[in-house]
């Protein structure tokens, strides 16, 4: 008896998950985390209006979601002052990245990213047979100039850049990114991941014509809007590019409750402003806790802070493990020298207090 006949590509890939979720870790240890500060979710939660909208939509969950996400796309188009045809809604940025790679990358095609940047993008590229080239970070930030120089040499199908960056929280000015578009070779598409841009300083968002065929930007309701579990993301790009996603996307992939919640969340900008304030206060708290323990918090434009533990990746992993043993879930960058840091998501005062008590205990044990 034989099993399925996998494609040679699928058979060659490791069965790995880019991120091991906190639930899996809780099952492995047999105890829950007391502070969930590792997945960059918004512990401050979604707008009450979004919760109410999803509750109101629940009785109709027997229906498929709108395959075109018409109402949400209309609202997003008005919010960003573009047309509905410039907007694609999908199952979070992760899902949209998968669709984009499926649409543009075939076996042997060259793709460029930063070594240590968001690994789910790499996962999709590998899954469709692309050849991934990686450029090291420079000064704990994605090297925008280096990426453009390497793109001119490699002529890749895609160049991935997150702004602000995960896992370091660094950011580039929007003017620099807009200017970099003129350095892309013909046929190369810049994938601009802006999952955290709502938290960033003014001037971080790049300004350019949405119908520019050289770039696609991606946003999410998972971070600032506090709806990570709803899986709603969206892309903005040239009409011709957006329309081509209809060839390969899952047309009924969107949950109708999530669509309703995202529509209500977008309309509640007062809550978004409140969350921004809470995140800023939490970044300051994490920075203070790090300093109190002789560690250095890196500047961040996101809803997390990378904390330099002062030594190497082995030491940082020990700090992470010590926090996990005390019920504090955090993560860390994967690649040296950024792996000398741990990455701590912002959260309410209770979580910050738990962190402030646990961290000195961990460091004391390691000494």
We report the CATH number of the domain holding residue 277 as: 3.90.1150.10
pLDDT at 3: 85
Predicted TM-score (pTM) of the model is 0.96
Does residue 302 sit within a domain? yes
Per-residue b or e along 260-294, where b marks 16 or more CB atoms closer than 10 Å to that residue's CB? bbbbbbbebeebbeebbebbeebbebbbebbeebe
Which pLDDT band, with edges at 50, 70 and 90, does 365 fall under?
very high
Number of Cβ within a 10 Å radius of residue 34: 13
Domain check: are 250 and 275 in the same one?
no
CA distance 313 to 328: 19
CA 279 vs CA 46, 225, 254, 300, 344: distances in Å: 13, 12, 28, 11, 12
Which pLDDT band, with edges at 50, 70 and 90, does 225 fall under?
very high
Say if CB 323 and CB 256 are below 8 A apart.
Answer: no
Does residue 13 sit within a domain? no
Mean pLDDT of 207-222: 98
Q: Residue 152: pLDDT above 90?
A: yes
Tell me the sheet residues that pair with 190: 159, 215
pLDDT at 15: 86
Q: H-helix or E-strand containing 135?
A: strand 131-135
pLDDT at 148: 98
Q: Residue 18: pLDDT above 90?
A: no
**Proportion of the chain above pLDDT 70, given as a percent:** 100
Domain check: are 100 and 152 in the same one?
yes
Domain check: are 136 and 262 in the same one?
yes
Q: Residue 51: pLDDT above 80?
A: yes
Q: Residue 310: pLDDT above 90?
A: yes
Domain check: are 285 and 170 in the same one?
no
Domain check: are 257 and 327 in the same one?
no
Mean pLDDT of 103-125: 97
pLDDT at 367: 87
pLDDT at 201: 97
Structural domain of 305: 20-45+270-366
């Amino acid at each position: 008896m034989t099993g399925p006949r996998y494609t040679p590509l699928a058979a060659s890939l490791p069965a790995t998950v880019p991120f091991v979720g906190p639930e899996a870790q809780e099952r492995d240890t047999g105890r829950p985390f007391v502070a969930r500060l590792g997945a960059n979710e918004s512990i401050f939660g979604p707008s009450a209006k979004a919760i109410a909208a999803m509750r109101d939509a629940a009785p109709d969950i027997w229906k498929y979601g709108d395959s075109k996400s018409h109402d949400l796309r209309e609202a997003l188009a008005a919010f960003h002052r573009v047309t509905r045809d410039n907007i694609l809604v999908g199952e979070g940025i992760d899902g949209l990245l998968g669709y984009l790679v499926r649409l543009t990358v075939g076996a042997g095609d060259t793709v460029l990213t930063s070594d240590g940047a968001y690994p789910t993008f790499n996962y999709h590229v590998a899954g469709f047979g692309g050849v991934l080239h990686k450029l090291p970070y420079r000064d704990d930030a994605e090297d925008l100039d280096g990426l453009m120089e390497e793109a001119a040499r490699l002529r890749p199908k895609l160049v991935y850049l997150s702004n602000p960056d995960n896992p370091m929280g660094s950011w580039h000015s929007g003017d620099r990114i807009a200017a970099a578009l003129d350095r892309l070779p013909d046929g190369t598409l810049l994938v601009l991941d802006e999952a955290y841009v709502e938290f960033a300083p003014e001037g971080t968002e790049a300004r350019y014509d949405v119908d520019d065929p050289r770039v696609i930007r991606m946003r999410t309701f998972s971070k600032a809007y506090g709806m990570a579990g709803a899986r709603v993301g969206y892309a903005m790009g040239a009409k011709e590019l957006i329309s081509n996603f209809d060839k390969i996307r899952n047309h009924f992939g969107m949950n109708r409750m999530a669509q309703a919640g995202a529509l209500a969340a977008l309309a509640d900008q007062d809550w978004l402003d409140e969350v921004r304030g809470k995140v800023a206060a939490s970044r300051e708290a994490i920075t203070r806790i790090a300093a109190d323990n002789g560690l250095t918090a890196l500047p961040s434009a996101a809803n997390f802070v990378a904390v330099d533990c002062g030594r190497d990746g082995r030491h940082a992993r020990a700090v992470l493990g010590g926090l996990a043993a005390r019920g504090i879930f955090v993560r860390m960058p994967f690649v040296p020298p950024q792996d000398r840091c741990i990455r701590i998501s912002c959260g309410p005062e209770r979580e910050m207090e738990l962190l402030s008590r646990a961290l000195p205990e961990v460091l004391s044990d390691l000494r």
